[in-house]
Amino acid sequence: MTIAILGGYGAVGAAAARRLAARAASPLRIGGRTLRSAAALCEELGDGATAHTVDLSDSASVAAFCAGSTVVLNCAGPSYRVLDTVALAAREAGAHYVDVAGDLPLLRRLRALPPSDRLEVVSAGVMPGLTAILPLTLLGDDPATTRIDLHVGGPVRITPASAQDILLATGPDFGTPSATWRDGRVAPGTATARWHTTLPHFGPDVHALPYLTTETADIARHHGLGEVRQHSVYVSERIPTTLATAWADSPDDPTSWAGELAAAATADLAQHRPSYTILAERRDIPSGRLVGQRLLQADDPYRLSGLVAALTAEAALAHGGSGTWPAWRFLDAHETWSALTSDPQCRTEVRATSAAPL
């Protein structure tokens, strides 16, 4: 029952590995190009963890890493370049596959193939991942009169692989700027940016930029939600300005801006302590009355993504299954929320109902 974690000593992979090792779920394989880093983590994890040299550009090394494992967890990136490289090796090895990212580009590729008799779960991270699961815990009996408001962001570091993925995540596969979900469809141009605003739980003088992700649109479509508004929240203009500049300057390959993007995040952290927030609120249509809220805060979204990835790998081991799914279709939303509330890195808050119309 081995779990093989590719990118297993990166920011997300190491967090997933530590969680899985602490729960003694299975023997772990830790893989990446730098054997020294894999070995250092294995020493920390203790018995049962083994270090492996794996390079995504060497298909034989990826195949050897996956062979004989029960679950392959891919935390190597950039995910939108890795695409199905690891997933196909996991299929070949007869292993379940979990990807902390991958998202629609990977989902589409895997669903174009003959169905797998093993599980393939993508987007098992924070965003996408928890950004769908938190709203799902709020749904009641009448989705048509439900409005979900989602605010996500805060000052946090940006790792090398994540910087490249953030830059590559542009276009209709990822989301629509200035859009909301209403009348059963993505409605472009229906949301406006709020610059220099004050948001509860995010603080004063933040920027809330409307961006409806394809994941959020998918849960809205799947559950027949009346309306969904989604905003990415930034503590300065540095990151949105760097992204806009990169996309305008290098539309074909913006990854050359990864260093600048990471530096923008570092500059934000010189003025703010690290904090990542997901605030999901449910309101009635048409009154706008707040009827439920889930708040999740953590210092490090990579550790949080590692937790979600580990929960997904644990569920795949425990229950098995087949088919290709985004994590929000595979994980039980309430069980996941419960795991978050009992994890020491998470600060969570629930408001069930409020009598006061907002």
Interface residues toward ligand NAP, by CB under 6 A: 7, 9-13, 32-34, 37, 54-57, 75-79, 100-101, 123, 125-129, 159-162, 165, 301-302, 305
Assess contact for 265 and 166: CB atoms under 8 A.
no
Of the pair 99, 227, the CB lying nearest ligand NAP is at 99
Of the pair 89, 290, the CB lying nearest ligand NAP is at 89
Torsions phi, psi for 30 (to 5 deg): -115, 120
Assess contact for 235 and 277: CB atoms under 8 A.
no
* Residue 29 Cβ vs ligand NAP, minimum distance, rounded to whole Å: 13
Sign, CA torsion 70/74/76/79 = positive
* Residue 173 Cβ vs ligand NAP, minimum distance, rounded to whole Å: 14
Q: Could you give the CA distance from residue 324 to residue 275 in angstroms, rounded to a whole number?
A: 32
* Residue 326 Cβ vs ligand NAP, minimum distance, rounded to whole Å: 11
Of the pair 125, 135, the CB lying nearest ligand NAP is at 125
Assess contact for 177 and 222: CB atoms under 8 A.
no
Of the pair 77, 153, the CB lying nearest ligand NAP is at 77
Q: Could you give the CA distance from residue 243 to residue 254 in angstroms, rounded to a whole number?
A: 9
* Residue 205 Cβ vs ligand NAP, minimum distance, rounded to whole Å: 26
- CA 62 from centre of chain: 23
Of the pair 127, 217, the CB lying nearest ligand NAP is at 127
* Residue 7 Cβ vs ligand NAP, minimum distance, rounded to whole Å: 3
Of the pair 146, 232, the CB lying nearest ligand NAP is at 232
Torsions phi, psi for 3 (to 5 deg): -110, 125
At 199, list the tokens. 């948001």
* Residue 284 Cβ vs ligand NAP, minimum distance, rounded to whole Å: 30
Distance (Å) of CA 282 to CA 26, 151, 353: 38, 12, 9
* Residue 316 Cβ vs ligand NAP, minimum distance, rounded to whole Å: 17
* Residue 239 Cβ vs ligand NAP, minimum distance, rounded to whole Å: 15
Of the pair 59, 353, the CB lying nearest ligand NAP is at 59
Assess contact for 1 and 317: CB atoms under 8 A.
yes
Of the pair 33, 347, the CB lying nearest ligand NAP is at 33
Bridge partners of 50, per DSSP, are: 29
The contacts of residue 36 (CB under 8 Å, 6+ apart) are none
Of the pair 290, 295, the CB lying nearest ligand NAP is at 295
Of the pair 257, 292, the CB lying nearest ligand NAP is at 257
* Residue 274 Cβ vs ligand NAP, minimum distance, rounded to whole Å: 14
* Residue 191 Cβ vs ligand NAP, minimum distance, rounded to whole Å: 22
Q: Could you give the CA distance from residue 315 to residue 307 in angstroms, rounded to a whole number?
A: 12
